[in-house]
Copies of this chain bind each other. A is one copy, B any other.
Amino acid sequence: MSEQTVGELGEFALIDAIAARLEKTSATAVPVGIGDDSAVVSAKGGNVVACMDLLAQGVHFRLDWSQAKDIGRKAAAQNLADIFAMGARPTALLVGLALPQETPVAWVMGLADGLSAEAAEVGVTVVGGDIVRSGSIVISVTALGELGTAKAILRSGAKPGNVLAIAGRLGFAQAGLLMLSRGFRSPQVLVAAHRAPEPPYELAKLATHATSMIDISDGLVSDLGHIAQASKVKINIESDKFQIPEALAAAASAFNGNAMEWILSGGEDHAFAATFDTAPAVPRGWTIIGTVNSGDPGVSVDGAEYLVPGWDHFSTH
């Protein structure tokens, strides 16, 4: 007998199976969860922080390169990182699944496990969502957060004289993707980084006094470009502030790659970059990597323009 598919199980039974699979929440943050028209989620401070990301099969993940659980972790992580990058704390996830009818139910359960596991890392759960039939898999995740008494940390808050710092890994996911695309399944630390990022949520929590913050989804230089534009500042990255991790150096050497290029332009690690008033204000665990200056908005590396290798989900070349 072949594996059961979502087409065989049916929509309502599939939703029940997923709901049963998801971790139950403690009642305080989520007065109403799955099973009504909408969920009800707390929003301390009277404001809610909200973001949405989509992941598409063949674009953000390949079924032969990633397990369902990893894809679930990744889908949750990239949204949770966006909430922390606002200086907020996540409160809930909503998840939409567009699935071909032949999708194995076991795959969907694995995805739910991954979503649930990553959400549990920060103490939240999936409180609602939707499932529809489609030609290929698209996963839609909305993360909600609350600010409490804090002010949102925006991309527009960087000031000349600020210092630039990062928390978390850079270049690992990009290098892991390269390994997979060349037919390798190792080194494990890089491949795993592509399959499921590990945003340093705890380090982001230490940075609620940052003047600006962003999570690195497209690549360090690209994403700092958003801060530079929004804040109307010139950001300079000093490449000698980076210690090239051993795993990246080894992979670069083996594949004739450039570890510094992976660090500067590799996406999907969901590290955090932030600016702070002064060097002493940079939290423990963060690394100072540059400065914020006045001038035409933009990002330089060691004072020179840096041409980012192309990154566009729609680009055909």
Which A residues contact B (CB, under 8 angstroms)? 6-7, 9-12, 14, 31-32, 35-44, 46-60, 81-83, 85-86, 88, 92, 94-98, 101, 127-136, 138, 140, 142-145, 147, 152, 154-156, 213-215, 230, 312-316
Contact = CB atoms under 8 A, between A and B. Distances in A.
A95 B140 CA distance: 10
A161 to B, nearest CB: 22
Nearest to A90: B38
A143 to B, nearest CB: 7
A130 B51 CA distance: 9
Contacts of A144: 48, 50, 144
Given A36-B86, A85-B38, A96-B53, A47 B59 contact: no
Given A59-B132, A101-B316, A38 B49 contact: yes
B14 A50 contact: no
Given A32-B154, A138-B138, A56 B133 contact: yes
5 closest Cβ pairs, A-B complex:
A140-B140, A43-B43, A38-B51, A37-B85, A37-B82
B132 A138 contact: yes
A54 B38 CA distance: 14
Nearest to A136: B135
Contacts of A230: 35-36
B314 A11 contact: yes
A55 B85 contact: no
Contacts of A136: 134-136
A47 B31 contact: yes
Given A32-B154, A132-B55, A143 B215 contact: no
Contacts of A12: 312
A134 to B, nearest CB: 4
A11 to B, nearest CB: 5
A41 B31 contact: no
Contact of A142 (B36, B142, B213): B142
A253 to B, nearest CB: 33
13 contacts: A36-B156, A37-B83, A38-B83, A39-B49, A40-B147, A43-B46, A50-B50, A50-B92, A50-B128, A54-B97, A98-B98, A98-B138, A134-B136
B215 A37 contact: yes
Given A101-B314, A144-B48, A130 B38 contact: no
A37 to B, nearest CB: 4
A47 B54 contact: no
A88 B31 CA distance: 14
A142 B94 contact: yes
A175 to B, nearest CB: 23
A54 B130 contact: yes
A134 B128 contact: no
Contacts of A127: 50
Given A38-B145, A130-B54, A138-B98, A10 B315 contact: yes
